[in-house]
Structure 1
């Protein structure tokens, strides 16, 4: 929060100087310098104004600093108005660089970090309601590695938005009436597949996805009658009342609970499970379809390949029309997504009742929609009428998500109420794929394909990372019990996977490598945990109290570097919340951990002879731990006191 105050003081200082120069209101930027020797804050104000005076930026910067900024700084210091800024200087590159009063800056930063229980909080949301949908894996299979990026991105965004005063509800949409569910019902009811796994014990979601779904798709080319059965099942699922539909529901619930077990292992939180079949069986679709027809947004195709189908008119002439209702009357999934999206933001009345579905790992209740009024619990949370709906789904769905967004914008002429947060796929390095038993060619990575059976199970990946972590921890602590080692290894594995999925830009492909992910010296989750554990060891060995610490004693470069990073915490949180880019927070936490590790390697704490400096450094370690623990928690990474 102190860096925000520094920025405010610099803005005030430059604005007064510009006003005195006769350029009041002229716009400028304040930048975070790339190197410490460039100061603590830089401004580009000289670049545009130098053109007005027909001089080089450096010359203007020199004169502006000498004639306007320095006199103001002297006056403000005499009045005690500027507490952060010590000096301003012109750089030959044309920037104006500001340096802080380190004693004051350190004192204010660390005092607030240590004493303010909500340090880092910034009210971005103002209590606005957000419905955040993520995961939404088809309930015919276990999660694979690619799904983990969705789960983790969605969960980190939830944590950041919740921390910044958004009223967030996390939704998990279950497509229980689509083709992929129909495929496994075909297998169980018409192709002779046993409902229970015939061989060794395995999770039911994995049996359905890795074996049943793959095998039944292999049968379709040679047994076309099964395709007729699939079409029949799709209609039965939409009607929802037959014995076949009830059987499908039991299968879906078994798969879903196994999927959630994997998500909970990743420490993901949910508030509501929505079932697609209920959207179809409710009047949401009927009312939405009537509205689409009245607005002329859909049309009945008279000829061509889509004859007899209802299609959405393309936004652009170059786009192809999109089928929303097939010629046999069944709905495509976008026909189910549109009313669901409209429900999220309150454009249509809520037709659902709600009941408790199950308890979660974090002792919260997961709710589910129901069409059975008798099951409704009046004390359920309000899941509708959000101010914004965010859907986390991979970038291959961008066109369909754009259609949904465009349709919603015509409901109430409201833009930006529906946001698609897309991301690129996840691959495995050849080394990791080989360790998991997946055979690939000589290329460096492999991507997932459930229909082809190329699918690396998420649980397998987590287990393998955990095994590597267990080996590392047990070698460091040979006397620990198995239970203690298991707990540490699981936490390290979760941190390794989570951090690896969020440290990249959303538009970048991820190639996940297990060995790199648990490296204690790299850009990894365990690196953050290791830095925290190092700091905790210092605090455990110390008997000094930090409450009376002379914080102005902290003036070495490693100390100042940590303080600078801590001072920017709320700015980073605000930026991550507004941009919905978890990478911003991941980069910050890594920078913070790196700053501490440099301090740890170069600066004595407990062995410092000067007691005042020793107490101040202990206070710095305390502030670091507090900041890192909060920031890591927003990433879903547990801070460990031992590694």
Structure 2
């Protein structure tokens, strides 16, 4: 029963334990042999590598204590373990636990050889049920640069796509271009007033400046008009709020004028000549939805400029898409109108004044969907506004048509969208159910995530206040360069800069992915660029260290005597590498990319403990050195594969 290589070495040990336990139960307690065997990883290594509570369960059906049953099974299992070479021993413990101890030389051999043979595929256990999956992520409104909060979306979405692809699914990465609505019309209006200029900076930064300035001037104009028109009719509190808002926007204007003097002054001059820019923007928005040629030309032009900047940023972060989906195309193809008409034919659409509403609560109640979507029966789902009084549609309405389109191309859809969209995503699912797409709605996953906080910084695209992903990557690469320079003075500058790019961008990615998605990220540079602990650079440095050890050995080792690996830290390393495929499966099947980051950091920690304690190249004997070199190689492969799953490059030198 010796296995040469395995996609999941620890799972082989688990299966042998399950089979031995099942076989022993059939022999000792045949009436209970059908009982489901479950095994867990014990909290302490002294209790073995796997443990079972089955004796506590079956003792309920017998007049025996769990520990006496465990002792009986222990004796029989140890007699029958000869055909299960990965099991060293079975031990009854505590009040009735059964602890399984692994045969470390066998596990070491299987793990090291599997990692070496499978190489880039090690750990990537393939699913037996592959699916077509669309992962829609990033989808930043094309009116300002990608800021660091949106970057968390990009990096989580990209890692999900990588992990699911490695699991064997057919994954398509989609970007939803939100080119319909007020924001796109504001920036297009400002761009047109400037005479459709060529970008004088990175395209998305240039468009972001136009958007922030146009929006700022509109807000100042609106607030001044409000105060002039209704000084007598506004109560004191509303008057004070309007004045405070105006003061805030004037301060924003001063800041924007200092940062972008040419754009600001040109827009200010142009706006002063226009009587009612607000109504012109609303008209542009309506004409765009209707497919008016001039409106389409200007909005598509300005959107494409911004998208070009996005593509530059994302390319640097090694993030790419299979499909760029224009929101407007679903309006012009009548897909949105068809959805709206179909919804109107259901009993769940009503008018509130001149606004069309969708009764999401009615659908959830009538179709008994609350438990399906994880809601309390007492929770009342707010209604969804489907359109404005001027006939234009709203984002979620258009998203219904887009979701149906996506399900024609995939069996599962994952929308990576901030937690603030939780209600909108629920209403979207309920609208799909009302239209007869209940099964699709159950396969629509909202992968939510929380904010990114830069201590002391406020982010607002409307006010032109944001920390862009470009700026963060630039700063990270600069800081990484200083660290690399300190550690590798003799390295050529070109090589230092290449490595600094990998390390800096890896640092940003790791910082945005390591935290549970539902918790906010606190972004501080002393944590992000840290070569000593829990960071992307720390894991990359550990990988480079493993590469360095193998280079220093300057010999190729095919096999070794793994019984020589007796030190606790060696065994802990073997176990971690052996368990990596199970960690990967959990991350893929439960959509938890952060546990890959956690695992990589823990493996780096353990490897550095090993490195500090035990010589590898200069071990006591060449036989021991060979075994340790193969262990180091297995760690190297595992670290690289784990980093790749979360989109981080692994430099061989630092």
Task: Summarize deviations over 1:610-641 as a string: whole Å, max 9, x none.
Answer: 11111111111111111211111111111111
Cα drift, residue 215 of structure 1: 4.4
Q: Which moved more, 1:2-11 or 1:63-72?
A: 63-72
With over 3 angstroms needed to count, the CA separation of the structure-2 counterparts of 1:197 and 1:287, relative to structure 1, is closer
SS at match of 1:116: helix
Cα drift, residue 451 of structure 1: 2.5
Q: Does 1:167 align with 2:170?
A: yes
Looking at structure 1, the residues matched to 590 and 279 of structure 2 have their Cα atoms a distance apart, in angstroms, of 47
Cα drift, residue 28 of structure 1: 5.0
Task: Summarize deviations over 1:29-67 as a string: whole Å, max 9, x none.
Answer: 321122222211122223333444577xxx51x323321
**Contact 1:214 1:450 (8 Å CA) reproduced:** no
Looking at structure 1, the residues matched to 188 and 551 of structure 2 have their Cα atoms a distance apart, in angstroms, of 58
Q: Does 1:237 align with 2:288?
A: yes
Q: Which moved more, 1:236-245 or 1:555-564?
A: 236-245
Alignment of 1:292-311 (within 5 A): 292-299=343-350, 301=351, 306-311=352-357
SS at match of 2:224: coil
**Contact 1:182 1:233 (8 Å CA) reproduced:** yes
Q: Which moved more, 1:16-25 or 1:323-332?
A: 16-25
Which structure would you say has the larger RCO, counting Cα contacts within 8 Å and 6 or more residues apart?
2
Cα drift, residue 223 of structure 1: 6.0
SS at match of 1:139: coil
Task: Summarize deviations over 1:401-445 as a string: whole Å, max 9, x none.
Answer: 11212233452441522111111111113xxxxxxxxxx4xxxxx
With over 3 angstroms needed to count, the CA separation of the structure-2 counterparts of 1:244 and 1:116, relative to structure 1, is closer
**Contact 2:384 2:427 (8 Å CA) reproduced:** no
SS at match of 1:568: helix
With over 3 angstroms needed to count, the CA separation of the structure-2 counterparts of 1:69 and 1:546, relative to structure 1, is same
Looking at structure 1, the residues matched to 391 and 203 of structure 2 have their Cα atoms a distance apart, in angstroms, of 40
Alignment of 1:270-349 (within 5 A): 270-299=321-350, 301=351, 306-315=352-361, 318-346=380-408
Cα drift, residue 127 of structure 1: 3.5
Alignment of 1:38-437 (within 5 A): 38-53=47-62, 60=66, 62-77=67-82, 81-92=83-94, 94-117=96-119, 118-124=121-127, 126-189=129-192, 195=197, 203-222=205-224, 225-299=276-350, 301=351, 306-315=352-361, 318-346=380-408, 384=409, 386-410=410-434, 411-414=436-439, 415-429=441-455
**Contact 2:358 2:385 (8 Å CA) reproduced:** yes
Query: Which entry has the higher C-alpha Rg, 1 or 2?
Result: 2
**Contact 1:2 1:567 (8 Å CA) reproduced:** yes
Q: Does 1:491 align with 2:497?
A: no
Looking at structure 2, the residues matched to 294 and 458 of structure 1 have their Cα atoms a distance apart, in angstroms, of 45
With over 3 angstroms needed to count, the CA separation of the structure-2 counterparts of 1:210 and 1:39, relative to structure 1, is farther
Looking at structure 1, the residues matched to 201 and 153 of structure 2 have their Cα atoms a distance apart, in angstroms, of 31
SS at match of 1:632: helix
With over 3 angstroms needed to count, the CA separation of the structure-2 counterparts of 1:265 and 1:613, relative to structure 1, is same
**Contact 2:207 2:302 (8 Å CA) reproduced:** no
SS at match of 1:87: strand
Q: Does 1:467 align with 2:457?
A: no
**Contact 1:17 1:68 (8 Å CA) reproduced:** yes
With over 3 angstroms needed to count, the CA separation of the structure-2 counterparts of 1:15 and 1:217, relative to structure 1, is farther
In the comparison of the two structures, how many residue pairs are matched?
Answer: 577
Q: Which has the higher helix share?
A: 2
Looking at structure 2, the residues matched to 539 and 169 of structure 1 have their Cα atoms a distance apart, in angstroms, of 37
Looking at structure 1, the residues matched to 37 and 222 of structure 2 have their Cα atoms a distance apart, in angstroms, of 65
Alignment of 1:544-623 (within 5 A): 544-623=555-634
Q: Does 1:5 align with 2:12?
A: yes
SS at match of 2:615: coil
Looking at structure 2, the residues matched to 472 and 598 of structure 1 have their Cα atoms a distance apart, in angstroms, of 22
Name the TM-score, length of structure 2 as normaliser: 0.84
Q: Does 1:528 align with 2:539?
A: yes
With over 3 angstroms needed to count, the CA separation of the structure-2 counterparts of 1:154 and 1:198, relative to structure 1, is closer
Looking at structure 2, the residues matched to 520 and 34 of structure 1 have their Cα atoms a distance apart, in angstroms, of 29
Looking at structure 1, the residues matched to 313 and 220 of structure 2 have their Cα atoms a distance apart, in angstroms, of 28
Task: Summarize deviations over 1:297-353 as a string: whole Å, max 9, x none.
Answer: 423x1xxxx31222111226833321112221100011110000000001xxxxxxx
SS at match of 1:343: helix
Looking at structure 1, the residues matched to 606 and 501 of structure 2 have their Cα atoms a distance apart, in angstroms, of 26
Looking at structure 1, the residues matched to 550 and 419 of structure 2 have their Cα atoms a distance apart, in angstroms, of 45
Corresponding residue number in structure 2 for 1:375: none
Looking at structure 2, the residues matched to 72 and 457 of structure 1 have their Cα atoms a distance apart, in angstroms, of 61
Corresponding residue number in structure 1 for 2:41: 32
Looking at structure 2, the residues matched to 132 and 202 of structure 1 have their Cα atoms a distance apart, in angstroms, of 24
Cα drift, residue 101 of structure 1: 0.9
Cα drift, residue 172 of structure 1: 0.3
Cα drift, residue 208 of structure 1: 3.5
Looking at structure 1, the residues matched to 125 and 41 of structure 2 have their Cα atoms a distance apart, in angstroms, of 20
Q: Which runs of 5+ in 1 are unaligned?
A: 347-383, 430-439, 441-445
Looking at structure 2, the residues matched to 396 and 63 of structure 1 have their Cα atoms a distance apart, in angstroms, of 54
